[in-house]
Structure 1
């Protein structure tokens, strides 16, 4: 797995693809936020128009059935076109981030998740792919605003403070368990991100803030209904839960081969296990009468916070057996 040859050209193209991905996703976030801010006004106008024409529905029906008369075809409003453009840029950003990851691997002739910079990129990519699958319906487009915010924060921290030059994998990671353990954990973490965002939005939707006639209240009202948000959170979490659990198990097997024990209560091991237990509690609460809805959602948010805490704090602040991950 180790190699002394690094393709500097491919590594540079990988860095350019990363920067381009962040820029494109920022523009996508702005466009989608514009649609979120103005779409409600369009819906209100549409309801008023329907109310105004309801009294003369018969006349309208007669006109529309008149031979030779073609009814006006509906046209997309400006904010809807902006939102569709923003969604298209999201897909471009995903493709650029995938290009960054692939080129990084080709430049180093190894799996491109051997340090924290590469791990965060893979986790964000997994989250974006999960979002592209779960939020593929047009009525979910507004949710992309809230998915892109944590993704862009993670990518900014990754590129600004966790970046490391393309290099061979360090000796501590020279194992066939690297591509297995890290990729599985990244996939689970990325999908958990979408579920955590959905639970946060569900809590906002169910809170008194949603009834206020101000900017925040109107933004919350623009979101899908609470039941839909809760269902998205549950389905993504129940998908990611076993994946992340297998990632922890694979890490324990790797630890036994590398350090002679399956579990040593290393800080990252400990917080990963705690996060997994919290998600188990969420799934249990979600199926328990009296704990569904808000209580279960709060547990899911706690699990999401534990995941983010585990991503950064453990490697940046604490000292443990996982401190090798490219952070000085």
Structure 2
């Protein structure tokens, strides 16, 4: 079917507007992070339940095996605290701007699909658009259940970078799907891969912040300005763990669907293609992370390091394997 050029142009405009609004929201979140007391207050509130009735040092918070849910720590607990600070108002405006950017983001994706009369994830540009949308929506869901709004800039930063790279160096004009991709497995396999990759961005960022917070507690003088405004180790660990638990089954489903599609298209489930190998390595890393948490009780720096490695492998698979190596997935940059 012919491409609707008008809808394609509207999609591009919506995409550019979404990036601009994300950048503005990130600035507002940075203002809250830099000048607000919310970060320090959130860290103290989330650490307080662990210290009642026990002499536990801050550095040991990650070793506590109890499971106080961070959901019970709303963004504004207890009675009214008086007028919000200016930095807090900037943070709330940042959330509003993020929601607005998500609406433009969704519009860009939907218009792209309508313009081409197909699912809008048939090339790297569209795939990155979906991954970033899922990441931001997942983060907004986290914000409803945990007082970590001031960390939003650290999540939006990789999103903005990915969307900038996708909209410039990886941009592709709207066009019908290549014959090799004209399969219902594109809807299932690539959608699962994009959804899991987007959600995996959240535990990747949370685990990196966990390592920074851990260094702060071990050396308060060196990391006092930044580390003290991060939530407690337990909260960061829970965000990383629970989002990974959510994303891992979706990722596993995507890998299985990819194998089934490979058998239907190429006559084999596994062919040592670079994309297949790196995807399997990422699956093993995340499986090791969840297994270590469930059996060995790793909730500290070692678990966070494994999660960061998994995120690094996912990013490597997204860019290097798709754009540099030659393989059966090179024709589309997705899969």
Give the TM-score normalised by structure 2. Answer: 0.84
Q: 1:268 to 1:208 in 2, by over 3 A?
A: same
Question: Which of these residues, 293, 296, 299, is aligned with residue 286 of structure 1?
Answer: 293
Q: Which position in structure 2 is the counterpart of 1:78? A: 86
Q: Which position in structure 1 is the counterpart of 2:125? A: 117
Q: Which position in structure 1 is the counterpart of 2:281? A: 274
Q: 1:49-198 to 2 correspondence within 5 Å?
A: 74-137=82-145, 139-198=147-206
Unaligned runs of 5+ in 1: 48-71
Q: Which position in structure 1 is the counterpart of 2:234? A: 227
Q: Which position in structure 1 is the counterpart of 2:30? A: 33
Question: Which of these residues, 320, 331, 335, is aligned with residue 324 of structure 1?
Answer: 331
Q: Which position in structure 1 is the counterpart of 2:58? A: none
Q: 1:73 to 1:297 in 2, by over 3 A?
A: closer
SS at match of 1:264: coil
Q: Which has the higher contact order (CA 8 A, sep 6+)?
A: 2
Q: CA deviation at 1:292?
A: 2.8
1:258 aligns with 2:257: no
SS at match of 2:150: helix
- Counterpart CA distance in 2 for 1:254 and 1:104 is 25
Q: CA deviation at 1:319?
A: 0.5
Provide the aligned length of Structure 1 versus Structure 2. Answer: 297
Runs of 4+ in 1 over 4 A off after TM superposition: 41-44
Q: 1:86 to 1:176 in 2, by over 3 A?
A: same
Q: Which has the larger displacement, 34-43 or 136-145? A: 34-43
Q: 1:24 to 1:210 in 2, by over 3 A?
A: farther
Unaligned runs of 5+ in 2: 45-79
- Counterpart CA distance in 2 for 1:26 and 1:210 is 33
SS at match of 2:296: coil
Q: CA deviation at 1:110?
A: 0.3
- Counterpart CA distance in 2 for 1:154 and 1:210 is 33
Q: 1:80 to 1:188 in 2, by over 3 A?
A: same
Q: Which has the larger displacement, 205-214 or 222-231? A: 205-214
Structure with higher Rg: it is 1
SS at match of 2:159: helix
Q: Which position in structure 2 is the counterpart of 1:66? A: none
Q: Which position in structure 2 is the counterpart of 1:21? A: 18
SS at match of 1:75: coil
Say whether the 8 Å CA contact 2:286–2:310 is kept in structure 1: yes
Say whether the 8 Å CA contact 1:286–1:293 is kept in structure 2: no
Q: CA deviation at 1:161?
A: 0.9
